[in-house]
């Protein structure tokens, strides 16, 4: 069995052979470092949620940044994101949850407001 076929609780582990073959965006960070952010999958969110003890939403985002990002060609961990310059963190956060990757279309609101339908007293 190849290392990229190993799973723990349904989450693939290993897989160094497939790194770099997924959709990635490369950005220059304000600090001068270069980051590659790959498109995420459900398993990445699951790992980020496990890494963010307590389930704090902002901690999950930081863990997801660490899961999806390589900085200057090397993987980073959650604790490194916590120590990064704020401008770099903001740029990575925008890349991970921002507009650069496909998002599902937002549904239009079913409810409509018509001010003429209000009763007037």
Assess if residue 62 is contained within a domain: yes
pLDDT at 1: 46
Identify the pLDDT of residue 26. Answer: 94
Q: Is residue 82 a part of any domain in this protein?
A: yes
What CA–CA distance (Å, rounded) separates 8 from 30?
A: 37
How confident is the model over 38-73, as pLDDT tens digits?
999 999 999 999 988 777 888 999 999 999 999 999
Identify the CATH number of the domain in which residue 56 sits. Answer: 3.30.2220.20
Return the pLDDT at 58. Answer: 86
Q: Which domain holds residue 73?
A: 23-102
Q: Is 6 inside any structural domain? A: no
Q: For residue 33, is it within any domain? A: yes
Residue spans of the chain under pLDDT 50: 1-3, 16-20
Q: Is residue 5 part of a domain?
A: no
Q: Say if 108 falls within a structural domain.
A: no
20: left (phi over 0), alpha (psi -120 to 50) or beta: left
> How high is the pLDDT of residue 57?
86
Q: 7 in a domain, yes or no? A: no
pLDDT value of residue 16? 44
Q: What is the pLDDT of residue 56?
A: 85
- The number of distinct structural domains making up the chain is 1
Please tell me the distance from the alpha carbon of residue 101 to that of residue 59, in angstroms, as a whole number.
21
């Amino acid at each position: 069995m190849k290392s990229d076929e190993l799973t723990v609780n349904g989450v693939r582990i290993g897989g160094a052979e497939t790194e770099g073959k997924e959709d990635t965006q490369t950005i220059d960070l304000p600090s001068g470092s270069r980051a590659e952010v790959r498109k995420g999958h459900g398993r990445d969110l699951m790992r980020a949620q496990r890494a963010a003890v307590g389930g704090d939403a902002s901690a999950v985002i930081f863990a997801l940044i660490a899961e999806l990002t390589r900085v200057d060609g090397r993987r980073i961990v959650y604790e490194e994101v916590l120590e990064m310059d704020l401008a770099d963190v903001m740029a990575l956060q925008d890349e991970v949850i921002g507009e650069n990757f496909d998002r599902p279309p937002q549904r239009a609101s079913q409810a409509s407001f018509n001010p003429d339908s209000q009763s007037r007293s």
